Amino acid sequence: MTRDEIRIYVLDYLAGRLTCKKWVEMVTDYLEGSLSLWPRIRFHLHLGLCNGCRHYLQQVRTTIKTTQQLPREPTPPHVREELIRRFRSMSSS
């Protein structure tokens, strides 16, 4: 085993062998600041090891930022109906 492989193994062990699926389930709590110390440490350790999860977290942050910029007014009924009609025509193709 190389030094890097040992380092990754130790970090993975310290992270509690946190799977990507379990990590994704923790993202909302992490972003809301409600993870306690040990789960937050495990979260960060996994984040340091997993490029896919780092990318996913960035996508979630971008989505949050984008949706916060949407207008607060409700969508007019005619626009909503047109969007639904277009969505249905796309999914039936």
3-state SS track over 6-53: HHHHHHHHHCCCCCHHHHHHHHHHHHHCCCCHHHHHHHHHHHHHCHHH
Residues sharing a CB contact under 8 Å with residue 39, sequence separation 6 or more, in sequence order: 26, 29
Q: How many CB atoms lie within 10 A of CB 44?
A: 13
Length of the chain equals 93
Look up the pTM and report it. 0.65
Residue 92's SS3 state is coil
Q: Determine what percent of the chain is predicted with pLDDT higher than 90.
A: 46
pLDDT band for 15, please (50, 70, 90 cuts). low
Average pLDDT over residues 44-60: 92
Q: How many CB atoms lie within 10 A of CB 47?
A: 18
Average pLDDT over residues 8-14: 72
CA distance 31 to 34: 8
